[in-house]
Amino acid sequence: MKSEFLSHIKENMWTSRYAKKTIESYLYWIKAYIIFIDKQHPNNCHDSEVERFLNYLSNSLNLAPKSQALALNSLSYLYKHILDKPLSMELNFNKSRVQPKLPTVLTPIEIKALFRFVNTKHLLLCQLMYGSGLRLMETVRLRIQDIDFNYNSIQVWNGKGGKHRRVTLAAELTSSLKAQIAFSKYHYLTDVKNPDYSGVYLPFALARKYPSACTDFNWHYLFPSSQLSLDPEVNRVRRHHINETAIRKTIKVASIKAGLDKHITCHTLRHSFATHLLQRGADIRTVQEQLGHSDVKTTQIYTHVIECGANGVMSPLSDLM
């Protein structure tokens, strides 16, 4: 049975234009919190219960700092915007100190081996993640107009943290991209003949600002879904982008077939992009801009696999051998 309380929170977040992934994450942690407090109504609890929950995540579950921070953000939203009882700014809890894992990086030879076993349907998408350092969701959300053939670049809108950036595009992908655009155009021409079709989804206030954009081909997704679906926010028929879960499965299957003995995910392609750029002599600030990192310290983690060793220091053992 669905919880009316959680449904109310979901509806409130939809109205406030929160991203679908954010809504799902917040609801997950709010539900976990309610279970932790023995299914009491959160209105009957406050700072002390939230502190105990956050301590539990750190001490008992050994959760990563980012996960604990997401749980705190979820509960802050709950108490501030739903219950109108904001949490204290001085909560006393044990912050997670788990060190982040070093990224898994593939060599160029391993990238080639992986791509040989990626199915044709998803190959271009994977090539973009590696060739342009895109995150999975950034790739599946690409619109036709985001591809700039004149300057061999891709415009990424509303990436992680709502940031925009322009990234490099391998010229070798031009013909494949044009074929993909033609494939998307085929779906588009079919859809616009459908009287129930309401155009492509546009985020935030763009639909009001550009009322005709939803039926403009350039705003449509580069990697469209094979089926039409109902937009839950406005109850209209649209064609969404391809499901990201299918790409994750493709990478997993391809890595097994290629016999690669590493834990490989879609994000591994982005890690490899950054590391290979640094190996080729790219300035770390340039790599930072390509990845869309706010802090260069986040980018510096990729220097650990550069051939000359950590921070460019050559081991004295190398001289002996």
Q: Write out the catalytic residue numbers.
A: 135, 160, 267, 270, 293, 302
Question: Residue 63: which of 73, 74, 55, 51 has the closest Cα?
Answer: 55
Two tokens at 246?
């299918």
Residues whose CB is less than 8 angstroms from the CB of residue 307 and which lie 6 or more positions away in sequence, other chains included: 279
Question: Residue 226: which of 212, 208, 207, 239 has the closest Cα?
Answer: 239
Two tokens at 107?
């060599």
Query: How much is the CA Rg of the chain, to the nearest whole Å?
Result: 23
For 182, the enclosing helix (H) or strand (E) is helix 174-191
Rounded Cα distance between 284 and 277, Å, is 9
Question: Residue 136: which of 126, 121, 145 has the closest Cα?
Answer: 126
Question: Residue 275: which of 296, 306, 246 has the closest Cα?
Answer: 306
Query: Helix 120-132 to helix 266-279 angle, to the nearest 10 degrees?
Result: 40
